[in-house]
């Protein structure tokens, strides 16, 4: 991360004091920070304390003759590799959504051509308000990365989502966004599955699960960013295809397996999809009706094909690196280690889905290989994907014919 720089916008909120710790932690990792301190932010931290930690002049005013002479706001907005807003208040996010430019922070956000990371912190009611949620959705649609806040007690005495994420999580996200893409997987074909499958009971109902597809789509995007040719076989989700990725849409587990086999050969196979374990032996051709008197229709189930195991045990066209996901609600690492042996894959990404992981924006995983267990902290799914893609690239690096599949 040497010679990497961020432009840090400190918004006005009680969590602003944590920005000082963020500056210090980034400095320890060789990441410099130039800072814009909003007028509201000066109510919580001083320009002197920020300057002392960053070693840089702190910018506060849009219409400053001295600042505009030394570094105009346009140049300031493009002087770093990444723009980070921390804490990102509801007001700052609203200004960014609507293109306001009435102070230095909002003008800089409008003028920048660099990636933007928003790290929200606010009262739980403000976070959950419809206006804030609409603004967050629009920011993400515009390409801004918005972290999910932590859940816990707040300075105002309330409890819920809205706390600034812990500094290590913020640092991990910043490092992931600053990490250079060297196209180390150029010439490799990666096959990824994502989302749920749907097994029809009748023309109206089906068996499925809560998978949003976000992690699988994010992994596909990260592999494409590393230069791989990526085929993404996806169950029904509402996500757009990542840029540069070939998307194959399916509904059922059997359709997903066929699409995967049709896409072979591949160098990498990552089974992220939450595939339904069972399907009805026969789907009704008409909508099933209630029989009344507490009677339920009898539905005979059949086991679906095991896609991960099938691909892992291919005698021909087996990918060099096969990675499975283990979604568990208890005894995570034990079940995942057993799955690694049972399925015959090379790596298992174990994640606890008893909370908000399915459908959520963050994940905490343990990467299990023959070399042991590599535990990662909770981080945005994009950061998980970038780190996994980096691990995969390292496994292939320097050896066109073989692999080093150690976790480190």
Percentage of the chain exceeding pLDDT 90: 55
Q: How far apart are CA 186 and CA 241, in angstroms?
A: 20
Q: How far apart are CA 375 and CA 350, in angstroms?
A: 9
Q: How far apart are CA 347 and CA 340, in angstroms?
A: 7
- What kind of fold does domain 189-396 have according to CATH? Rossmann fold (3.40.50)
Q: How far apart are CA 133 and CA 90, in angstroms?
A: 10
Residue 354 structure tokens: 């008893």
**Domain map (residue ranges) of the chain:** 4-178, 189-396
Residue 285 marked ligand-binding: no
Residue 155 per-residue DSSP state: T
Residue 352 structure tokens: 């606890």
Same fold, 4-178 and 189-396: yes
Residue 214 marked ligand-binding: no
Residue 277 marked ligand-binding: yes
187-199 average pLDDT score: 96
Q: How far apart are CA 346 and CA 339, in angstroms?
A: 11
Residue 4 marked ligand-binding: no
Name the CATH superfamily housing domain 4-178. Answer: Flavin prenyltransferase-like (3.40.50.1950)
pLDDT for res 292 = 66
pLDDT for res 400 = 36
Q: Give the predicted TM-score (pTM) of the model.
A: 0.61
- At 80-90, the pLDDT tens digits run 999 999 999 99
Residue 315 marked ligand-binding: no
- At 169-187, the pLDDT tens digits run 899 889 888 876 678 899 9
Residues acting as catalytic residues? 156
Q: How far apart are CA 126 and CA 231, in angstroms?
A: 40
pLDDT for res 297 = 74
Rounded to the nearest 5°, which phi and psi values hold at 347?
Answer: -130, 155
Taking the CA atoms of 111, 117, 123 and 124 in sequence, report the sign of the dihedral they define: positive
Q: How far apart are CA 290 and CA 312, in angstroms?
A: 42
Residue 306 marked ligand-binding: yes
Using the predicted structure, report yes or no on whether residue 155 has a pLDDT greater than 80: no
């Amino acid at each position: 991360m040497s010679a990497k720089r961020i432009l840090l916008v400190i918004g006005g909120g009680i969590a602003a004091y944590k920005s000082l710790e963020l500056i210090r932690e980034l400095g320890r990792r060789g990441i410099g920070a130039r800072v814009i301190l909003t007028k509201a932010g000066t109510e919580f931290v001083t320009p002197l304390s920020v300057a002392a930690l960053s070693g840089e002049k702190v910018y506060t005013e849009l219409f400053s003759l001295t600042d505009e002479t030394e570094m105009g706001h346009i140049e300031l907005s493009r002087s770093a590799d990444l723009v980070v807003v921390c804490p990102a208040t509801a007001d700052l996010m609203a200004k960014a959504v609507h293109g306001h430019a009435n102070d230095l922070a909002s003008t800089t956000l409008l003028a920048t051509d660099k990636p933007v990371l928003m790290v929200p912190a606010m009262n739980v009611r403000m976070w959950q308000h419809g206006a804030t949620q609409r603004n967050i959705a629009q920011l993400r649609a515009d390409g801004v990365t918005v972290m999910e806040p932590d859940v816990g007690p707040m300075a105002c005495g309330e409890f819920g989502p809205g706390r600034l994420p812990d500094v290590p999580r913020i640092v991990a996200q910043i490092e992931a966004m600053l990490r250079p893409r060297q196209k180390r997987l150029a010439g490799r074909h990666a096959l990824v599955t994502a989302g749920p499958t749907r097994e029809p009971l009748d023309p109206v109902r089906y068996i499925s699960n809560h998978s949003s597809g976000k992690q699988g789509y994010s992994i596909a995007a990260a592999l494409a960013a590393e230069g791989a040719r990526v085929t993404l076989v996806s169950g029904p989700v509402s996500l757009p295809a990542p840029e540069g990725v070939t998307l194959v849409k399916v509904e059922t587990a059997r359709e997903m397996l066929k699409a995967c086999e049709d896409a072979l050969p591949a160098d990498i196979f990552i089974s992220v999809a939450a595939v339904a374990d069972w399907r009805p032996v026969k789907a009704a051709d008409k909508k099933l009706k209630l029989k009344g008197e507490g009677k339920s229709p009898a539905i005979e189930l059949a086991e679906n094909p095991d896609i991960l195991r099938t691909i892992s045990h291919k005698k021909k066209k087996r990918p060099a690196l096969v990675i499975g996901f283990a979604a568990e609600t208890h005894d995570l690492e034990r079940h995942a280690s057993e799955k690694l042996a049972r399925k015959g894959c090379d790596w298992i990404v174990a994640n606890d889905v008893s909370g908000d992981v399915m459908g959520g924006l963050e994940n905490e995983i343990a990467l299990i290989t023959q070399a042991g267990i590599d535990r990662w902290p909770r981080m945005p799914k994009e950061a998980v994907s970038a780190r996994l893609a980096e691990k995969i690239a390292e496994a292939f690096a320097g050896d066109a014919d073989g692999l080093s599949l150690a976790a480190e």
